């Protein structure tokens, strides 16, 4: 193997290793249901009841209501009655969550660590209960960027997770293609 071919092979393998992980596509496209419903975000143990975690969940819920709610509203407007005779329920759940507070960023800066959120969306047909997909989305705010922005990145992360989920919704509406997880291996 000549050097140029070897270099091209190494470059291809390296870029594939660094590529962002992808969520698999749903079992079928999301279009064609009689009705769509977006459930409230679930937050289970050990996060439920924690004041800071509940506040972060409320922020994410606000973004989902405002942004994802518009997508669901449009899908319900466009729904084809009696096509499948089923409703598609989207159930968001926060799996992991750490949001560094503004006070911690002010006093500890980068030493307060990274903020992160992991959220899953379950797509369930009703009344059959068939699970179409359960993509997982990840966003983080690095400790240093959180410090330099005085917590701005920590707050923006809560909106970015919703934008990532909305991207999955939009790209899988007509065709089941999957989408990015948002995972950042750094």
Ordered by where they begin, the domains of the chain are 40-175 (3.40.50)
pLDDT at 14 over 50: no
- CA within 13 Å, CB half, 42: 12
Q: What is the mean pLDDT of the chain?
A: 80
Query: Mean pLDDT across the stretch 51-69?
Result: 93
Read off the pTM: 0.80
Residue 83: Cβ within 10 Å count: 11
Quote the pLDDT of residue 15.
Answer: 47
Mean pLDDT throughout 150-161? 71
């Amino acid at each position: 193997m000549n050097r140029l071919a070897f270099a091209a092979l190494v470059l291809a393998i390296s870029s594939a290793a660094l590529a962002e992980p992808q969520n698999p596509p749903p079992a079928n496209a999301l279009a064609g249901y009689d009705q769509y419903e977006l459930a409230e975000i679930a937050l289970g143990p050990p996060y439920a009841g924690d004041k800071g975690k509940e506040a972060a969940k409320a922020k994410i819920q606000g973004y989902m209501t405002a942004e994802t709610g518009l997508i669901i509203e449009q899908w319900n407007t466009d729904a084809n009655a009696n096509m499948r005779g089923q409703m598609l329920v989207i159930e968001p759940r926060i799996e992991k969550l750490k949001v560094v507070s503004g006070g911690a960023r002010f006093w500890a800066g980068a030493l307060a660590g990274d903020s992160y959120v992991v959220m899953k969306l379950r797509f369930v047909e009703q009344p059959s209960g068939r699970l179409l997909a359960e993509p997982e989305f990840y966003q983080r705010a690095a400790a240093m960027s959180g410090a330099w922005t005085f917590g701005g990145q920590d707050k923006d992360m809560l909106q970015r997770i919703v934008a990532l989920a909305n991207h999955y919704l939009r790209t899988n509406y007509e065709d089941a293609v999957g989408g990015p997880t948002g995972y950042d291996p750094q």
